[in-house]
Every structure is written in structure tokens, then in C-alpha cells.
């Protein structure tokens, strides 16, 4: 029997991530969280999946992330846009399907496929 679990579900399990809906990067710091809890979080943290079909680009993604995200954040101060723009991408209050949190950036899974051709040219038959 195969058993699967969605990353979102796992990453929002309070057993592993207390206050799972709160954006709290400091939860990973030893000064903020007991070591046993950090170890639990590490075991459950699987954004790149694991096993046979785990992400082949994980090292590259970490490299890109540290360069492309960390550098600008290090060199510049930034804050969320004011007015209507800060809400873009968030959940809609009142929704009861799990998309009701305005401060949670909403992701949608899409599986798509497309192709063009192959084209055949039929020649005269013998």
C-alpha cells in the first residue's frame, strides 16, 4: 500500500510547526526554538520532496535562492506595498475552503502538457 501526504498539509501540521500559519522564519533559530523541535521540523521539511522523484535541482535552487533572494534583501530595505497592492495574492476573508487567510500567499497547483507535431508527410504508395 502506498501512502502519500501533501507538502502543504505536512508543513501546516502543528506537531512539527507550531503556529503553522504564522510567517515566522526565526522559528528555525536555536535561540528561538528548542533543539528537539527544530529536529522535528527538519524531518518534516520537504519542499523538494524526497525519495526517487525528489527534486533534481535542489542544490541549484538553494544556490539561486541564496544569491537572488538573499543578496537584495541584504543590500536593500523593503516593505510590503501599501494600499490595495499588499493584498494581492492573499486569501479572501470569509472563504471557508482553506483560502480565507489574507496574509497567506495563495498557491495553485497546475498540471499542464502541450505538444506540437510530429508531422508526417505521406509519399506515394508502392
Please give the C-alpha separations between residue 49 and each of 12, 57, 58, 120, 124, in angstroms, as whole numbers.
15, 11, 10, 40, 52
Kindly write out the interface string for residues 32-51 of this chain, putting x where it contacts ligand HEM by CB under 6 A and - elsewhere: ---------------xxx--
For the bound state, the minimum distance from the C-beta of residue 40 to ligand HEM, rounded and expressed in Å, comes to: 20
For residue 105, the SS3 value is strand
- 123 alpha-carbon distance from chain centroid: 51
Binding flag, residue 60, ligand HEM (CB under 6 A): yes
**With respect to ligand HEM, which residue has the nearer C-beta, 66 or 92?**
66
| Contact set with ligand HEM (CB under 6 A) | 47-49, 53, 55-57, 60-61
Amino acid at each position: 500500500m502506498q501512502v502519500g501526504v501533501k507538502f502543504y498539509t505536512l508543513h501546516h501540521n502543528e506537531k512539527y510547526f507550531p503556529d503553522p500559519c504564522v510567517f515566522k522564519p526565526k522559528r528555525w533559530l536555536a535561540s528561538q526554538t528548542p533543539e528537539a523541535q527544530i529536529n522535528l521540523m527538519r524531518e518534516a521539511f520537504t519542499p523538494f520532496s524526497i525519495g526517487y522523484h525528489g527534486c533534481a535541482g535542489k542544490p541549484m535552487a538553494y544556490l539561486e535562492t541564496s544569491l537572488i533572494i538573499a543578496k537584495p534583501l541584504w543590500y536593500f530595505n523593503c516593505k510590503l506595498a501599501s494600499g490595495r497592492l499588499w493584498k494581492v495574492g492573499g486569501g479572501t476573508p470569509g472563504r471557508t475552503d482553506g483560502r480565507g487567510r489574507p496574509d497567506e500567499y495563495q498557491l495553485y497547483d497546475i498540471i499542464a502538457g502541450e505538444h506540437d507535431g510530429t508531422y508526417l508527410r505521406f509519399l506515394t504508395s508502392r
